[in-house]
Amino acid sequence: MKKTSFKLETLITKETLQNRVASLAQQISADFRGEHLHLIGILKGAWIFMADLIRHLQLNTSVDFITVSSYASSMKSTGKVTIVKDLNTSIKDLNVLLIEDICETGLTLDYLTQKLNKQKPKSLSIASLLSKFGKRKKKINLDYVGFEIENHFVVGYGLDYQENFRNLPEIHAVQFNEKKIPN
């Protein structure tokens, strides 16, 4: 039998997160000046990022959410993306900003951009709080990126480990230690 323990190491502080989110909002506001922007948050991980981002936007906005799953109960993507909760409204002819917590393999965003483009939005852009380099399986154009990070498993600011740690105000790298327990 194995017992897993872990340690959290702060990777991105609350202040650094807030400053970067405000900076991204300023850039997005400039890029869509005079336009209406429809934000789609990918649940569950992106909701805190999206909430902070929208408070800084100086635009007319509307919101919707979509829930997808590719992780099941594991820490690694299964590679199969399924929609758990679809959009409530049509995005035809709207400027859409898809909000993601972390882009690793690109499989989820590839799947969603293909699905959303079929609805003929006026434009479709992607904002991802985090982007892991070296893990991509699909080429994805991220229009707005908060931070590039190394291959860490991360929690906090909406990101979780087994539905825990979403409430942490910073991003933490998780360091796991597995120990064998004698029978």
pLDDT in tens, 113-172: 999 999 999 999 999 999 998 878 899 999 999 999 999 999 999 999 989 999 999 999
Q: DSSP for the chain? A: -EEEEEEEEEEE-HHHHHHHHHHHHHHHHHHTTTSEEEEEEEETTTHHHHHHHHHH--SEEEEEEEEEES-TTSSS--S--EEEE--SS--TT-EEEEEEEEESSSHHHHHHHHHHHTT--SEEEEEEEEEETT--SS----SEEEEEE-S--EEBTTB-BTTBSTT-SSEEEEEEEEEEPP-
Give residue 133's pLDDT.
Answer: 80
Domain ranges of the chain: 14-151
Give residue 136's pLDDT.
Answer: 86
Give the torsion sign (CA, 154, 159, 163, 165): positive
Give residue 76's pLDDT.
Answer: 57
Extract the tokens encoding 175. 């360091």
- 176 pLDDT band (50/70/90 cuts)? confident
| Whether the Cβ atoms of residue 64 and residue 37 lie closer than 8 Å to each other | no
Name the pTM for this structure: 0.89
What integer is the mean pLDDT of 93-100? 98
Asked: is 14-151 a CATH 3.40.50.2020 domain? The reply is yes
> Does 75 have pLDDT greater than 70?
no
> Does 183 have pLDDT greater than 60?
no
> Does 182 have pLDDT greater than 60?
no
- 181 pLDDT band (50/70/90 cuts)? very low
Q: Which residues are catalytic?
A: 104
- 178 pLDDT band (50/70/90 cuts)? low
- 88 pLDDT band (50/70/90 cuts)? very high
> Does 81 have pLDDT greater than 90?
no
Q: What pLDDT, in 10s, does the model give residues 23-73?
A: 999 999 999 999 999 999 999 999 999 999 999 999 999 999 999 987 555
